[in-house]
Amino acid sequence: MAIHQRLKERNIELPDVSVPAAAYVPYVQTGNLLFVSGHIAKKDGKAWVGQLGTNMDTETGRQAAESIAIDLLGTLQAACGGDLNRIKRIVKVVSLVNANGTFTEPHLVTNGCSELLMHILGDAGAHARSAYCVAQLPMGSCVEIELVAELL
């Protein structure tokens, strides 16, 4: 209920599960652990193209990371049969920021995702994390984020 209300307050409508652009599946569950594939940032249904330090600033990257959090929640909702309350805990987030060798704020970009997960899921949203800059991402997307969740 609380999760539902917090989504509503932020006017967030969760999308359907993100369909992979290649030869893999959006998530695999093993025991109580759910491994979710990397989700790239999208805008208007296409890759949100950009590179931090080259042609995108930290604040825009942060918004892209936040939009990925919404897509990840959509995928999690599908994996949970529609009920996000089945998420016991977001265990681990790995965030890949498309950047050149001068951009040193992948952690600030990634906060856009981490903070939304924590806002929407509450304590269950607090996660371990790694964030770093990579040379490029699929279709030129600016950010890609994957996660591991524990289900009830």
The 3-class SS string of 72-90 reads: HHHHHHHHCCCCHHHEEEE
Q: Which residue reads 């951009």 in tokens?
A: 103
Q: Does 17 bind a second copy (CB under 8 A)?
A: no
User: Among 74, 83, 113, which Cα is nearest to 96's?
Assistant: 113
- Number of residues binding to a second copy, judged by CB under 8 A: 62
Task: Tell me the closest approach of the beta carbon of residue 64 to a second copy, in angstroms.
Answer: 15
User: Among 65, 84, 87, 85, which Cα is nearest to 146's?
Assistant: 65
Q: Does 46 bind a second copy (CB under 8 A)?
A: no
DSSP letter assigned to residue 34: E
Q: Does 152 bind a second copy (CB under 8 A)?
A: no
User: Among 47, 149, 40, which Cα is nearest to 95's?
Assistant: 40
Among 5, 16, 100, 122, binds a second copy (CB under 8 A): 100
The region of 2-10, 11-19, 35-43, 66-74 touching a second copy under the rule CB under 8 A is 35-43
Task: Tell me the closest approach of the beta carbon of residue 2 to a second copy, in angstroms.
Answer: 20
DSSP letter assigned to residue 126: -
Among 12, 15, 20, 43, binds a second copy (CB under 8 A): 20
Which stretches of the chain bind a second copy, using CB under 8 A? 20-28, 30-33, 35-38, 51, 53-54, 88-94, 96, 99-108, 110-111, 114-115, 118, 126-140, 144, 146, 148, 150
